Amino acid sequence: MENMLKKYQDELNTTTNPASVLARFYCESLHQTNSVELIKMFNRLVKMYGRQVSFNSILSLYDMSSVVDYTNIYPLLAYFCKKELNKQESTSVNLSDYIAEREKQLESMKGKKFAIPKPFKGES
């Protein structure tokens, strides 16, 4: 049997209706029944956060063992989406600042001689 995660990930990347795929993945992974309301909910999540972030929020929900009430799950999924977006934003690097910093380091290194130690004794 194919890995369920990979199957739905591949299907999510190629489909024109990601909300339906996410609803099926949600129902299959958490043993829930699919409904039109779930598809609408995932459609809102996809419009707001994108396919991959919504998919990862289902995985985060799957890792939680204490969720008992699945009747109003939208706020929890939205929380996981926001959490992942904040994590992605905090790990991004401003490339222009990085390049400017490296150029300053290069300028400070110009004209300096560096001694490279010999790795083995006795060699010249």
What are the tens digits of pLDDT across the range 56-94? 999 988 888 677 677 788 989 999 999 988 887 666 667
Q: Does 54 reside within a domain? A: yes
Q: Does 121 reside within a domain? A: no
For the segment 104-118, what is each residue's pLDDT rounded down to a tens digit?
888 888 877 777 777
Q: Does 120 reside within a domain? A: no
Q: Does 90 reside within a domain? A: yes
Q: Does 30 reside within a domain? A: yes
Domain that holds residue 13: 4-108
CA distances from 14 to 34, 43, 59, 110 (A): 21, 16, 19, 51
* Number of CB atoms found within 10 A of residue 54's CB: 29
pLDDT at residue 2 tops 70: no
Q: Does 114 reside within a domain? A: no
Alpha-helix runs per DSSP H in 1-124: 4-14, 18-30, 36-49, 51-63, 74-90, 95-109
Q: Does 122 reside within a domain? A: no
Domain count for the chain, please give it: 1
Q: Does 117 reside within a domain? A: no
